[in-house]
């Protein structure tokens, strides 16, 4: 059964329904390859409201990254419609609506952490002073203020990933698109960055779309969990979290958390066929 995020209650703290930021209707994407067509996305319907934290979860090849890339205007759909803040993804990109965090931090080794953070702002034509103020603000937010003059190779993997989150935030995009940002990190660092990310989400009120393979991570972070399945890539279920917004790590030991994780696990198992 498919249920759009839009169909479940998504309330702002004052009780009002927040506005739609991403609206996807009957969207499909087929890649033409030498081995024939690959149906990466099939009939996707999804609405994401401002302030939501939405995770895409599903087995390898179910189209999570492709869907994120369509939102980011890095891939074009074959059919169907998508709007981002009421415009095309292309216009949204030109309007600097989103910051994108990749699985690998992708920092330039010859630039300092501060210099890496400043890069998108340079491209967008920010003045030097503004670049400094913004880099300062977001390096502080991710706890890297003391490392601003270091080069990426002088930092741990987790710190590099925090720097790439600061880089994605420093031009104040409304939307944060994150493609398995913590997938390559050890569990302790990952826990720590999950907490940091929730804190940033609370403090900045951003909308986050997050790709993960981890059920625990999806349940811990999200307001909505989008379960996907492959061949063709499609949404099989959208689960709204009933967990409180405030989430210490030990929430994972509560019955409510475990029940939700079990629900996601069952959805994944139902649709996961190994060929």
State the residues that interact with ligand ATP by CB under 6 A: 31, 33, 38, 40, 58, 60-66, 233
∠ CA 238-240-245, nearest 5°, is 145
Shortest distance, position 199 Cβ to ligand ATP, whole Å: 26
Q: Please list, in sequence order, all residues whose beta carbon lies within 8 angstroms of the beta carbon of residue 104, skipping any fewer than 6 positions away.
A: 184
Q: How far apart are CA 199 and CA 204, in angstroms?
A: 9
Shortest distance, position 244 Cβ to ligand ATP, whole Å: 29
Shortest distance, position 118 Cβ to ligand ATP, whole Å: 30
Q: How far apart are CA 138 and CA 142, in angstroms?
A: 6
Token reading at 3? 């249920």
Q: How far apart are CA 149 and CA 112, in angstroms?
A: 5
| C-beta closer to ligand ATP: residue 149 or 272 | 272
Residue given tokens 């990109």 in the structure block:
93
Q: How far apart are CA 62 and CA 231, in angstroms?
A: 7
171 in Cβ contact with 134 (< 8 Å): yes
Shortest distance, position 59 Cβ to ligand ATP, whole Å: 7
Shortest distance, position 60 Cβ to ligand ATP, whole Å: 3
Shortest distance, position 40 Cβ to ligand ATP, whole Å: 4
| C-beta closer to ligand ATP: residue 40 or 268 | 40
| C-beta closer to ligand ATP: residue 96 or 231 | 231
| C-beta closer to ligand ATP: residue 155 or 235 | 235
Q: Is the peptide bond before 232 cis (omega within 30 degrees of 0)?
A: yes
27 in Cβ contact with 43 (< 8 Å): yes
């Amino acid at each position: 059964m498919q249920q759009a995020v839009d169909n479940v209650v998504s309330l702002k703290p004052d009780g009002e329904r927040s506005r739609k930021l991403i609206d996807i209707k009957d969207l499909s994407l087929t890649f033409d390859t030498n081995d024939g067509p690959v149906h990466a996305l099939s009939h996707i319907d999804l609405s994401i409201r401002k302030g939501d934290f939405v995770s895409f979860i599903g087995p390898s090849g179910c189209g999570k990254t492709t869907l994120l890339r369509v939102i980011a205007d890095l891939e074009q759909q074959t059919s169907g419609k998508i709007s981002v803040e009421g415009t095309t993804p292309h216009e949204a990109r030109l309007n600097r609506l989103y910051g994108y965090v990749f699985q690998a931090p992708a920092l330039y080794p010859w630039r300092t952490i501060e210099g890496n953070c400043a890069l998108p702002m340079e491209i967008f034509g920010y003045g030097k002073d503004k670049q400094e103020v913004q880099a300062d603000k977001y390096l502080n937010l991710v706890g890297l203020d003391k490392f601003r003059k270091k080069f990426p190779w002088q930092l741990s993997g987790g710190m590099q990933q925090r720097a790439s989150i600061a880089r994605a935030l420093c031009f104040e995009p409304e939307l944060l698109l994150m493609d398995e940002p913590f997938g390559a990190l050890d569990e302790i660092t990952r826990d720590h960055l999950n907490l940091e990310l929730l804190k940033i989400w609370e403090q900045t009120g951003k909308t986050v779309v997050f790709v993960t393979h981890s059920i625990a991570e999806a349940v811990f972070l999200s307001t909505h969990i989008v379960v996907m399945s492959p061949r063709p890539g499609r949404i099989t279920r959208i689960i709204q979290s009933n967990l409180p917004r405030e989430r210490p790590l030990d929430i994972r030991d509560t019955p409510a958390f475990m029940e939700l994780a079990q629900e996601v696990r069952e959805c994944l198992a139902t649709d996961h066929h190994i060929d």
